[in-house]
Amino acid sequence: MSEESTGGTPPEEATIALPAGTGAGEATAPIRPGNPDDEPTVAMSANAPADEPTVAMPADAPAEEATVAMPADTPAEEATVAMRPAAAPVPERPVQSPSEPVETATSESGSGGFVLSRRRLLLGLSGVAGVAVAATAVAVRSASSGSGEDASRPTPAQPVVVTSRAPESTAVSKAPAPVQRRPISTLADYAKATGGPAFPTDAVALTIDDGPHPVWTPKILKLLDKYQVPAMFCMIGNQVLGHEDVARMVTRSGHQLANHTWSHPTELGGKSRKVAQAEIHKAQTKISKTTGYEPRLFRSPGGDWSPQLLWAVAQAGLLPLDWSNDPRDWSQPGASKIEHRMLAAQPGQILLCHDGGGDRSQTYQALSVVIPALQARGLRFVAL
């Protein structure tokens, strides 16, 4: 062993030759250069054949060191130690199998030896040992977590998931009803179709179509409340859209709702089953989602029926509803004509009038006369 010193610009700095068989993913510790000008160095025998492949490790570009990342502020879960994998170092010099040692040894070091400072040796050994300990700890941690959670460790509480209201679908799921050969037009028809008890012999039912309307529906509701008359409001789906508060006003007042299609198409009985089902289902969904009331009855616009429409109504789980007294108030013939036709009502009939589709001032005026007049005759308004 001897001390050596060099003058001027030192030759290429000494490196440690390691066997090339080391795995690419294995953690390595960089050996930082010392000051070769004034340090004693130690010559160590390489003990490797001259032709064995070696890896030249650059002294001035150490490989990225593995670090330990501790997550901050994670109270819900146990903090874990994550080893960031070191990126494969890009050597400044290519891996080579030199035919002669990287550094020429002094005459005292012997054949095949190379010069290594004492400080570099100690730093290198301590760095390798530190990386090995860290890698072992991470390996043990990974093995324990991969085989299953420790039963003694408490499981973190799961957050409560709050979901918003589900969006409206295009159909309301309901069991199909028996197909009716013709729509319900009297109270006796209704009792037969539903299997319910017979209505009183002095009963009549009032049905009101084409709403809700922001002006006439609230006015008619006040009139019905004044005379304690229940009614069936046959609502159009796209009229409920935009007038949801009025639709809810009807149910809050204790009245019933029926499905009167989505868009009130004319001659619905002549349209395809697909079109009919779409009109029924879309309106059913909108009405029930808006008011919380699921209609049980369906009325075709203009009383237009067909076997295929009756089938579509039954598939939706509804019963077809018609009428037996039509004052034709939708045509605005004048309040007196509306009154005259409605006053001809007989026990057991289902009466028709409208709160939507235009100016219903004539209907409102006629109802204010007809309702108390029919009650005075001993007729009783009943709910379906």
What's the token pair of residue 328? 């034709």
Tell me the whole-structure pTM to 2 decimals: 0.57
User: What percentage of the chain exceeds 70 in pLDDT?
Assistant: 55
Q: Looking at the chain, which residues constitute the CATH 3.20.20.370 domain(s)?
A: 187-381
What's the token pair of residue 143? 């093995």
pLDDT confidence of residue 127 = 53
What's the token pair of residue 209? 């179509």
Of 343, 346, 303, 347, the residue nearest 327 (C-alpha): 343
Handedness of CA 58, 116, 133, 70 (dihedral sign): negative
DSSP-derived 3-state class of residue 75 = coil
Which residues are annotated as catalytic? Answer: 209, 354
Residue type, 92: E
8 Å CB contact between 153 and 56 = no
Spans in the chain with pLDDT lower than 70: 1-174
Q: Is 280 exposed, middle or buried (0-12, 13-18, 19+ CB in 10 A)?
A: buried
Residue with tokens 């009855």: 297
Q: Which residues pair with 349 in a beta bridge?
A: 186
| Count of Cβ atoms closer than 10 Å to residue 236 Cβ | 24
Burial 131-142 (b: 16+ CB within 10 A, else e): beebeeebeeee
Of 13, 61, 18, 62, the residue nearest 35 (C-alpha): 13
Instruction: Give the single-character DSSP code of 105.
Output: P
Distance CA 283, CA 65 (A): 67
8 Å CB contact between 183 and 323 = no
Domain at 187-381, CATH class: alpha beta
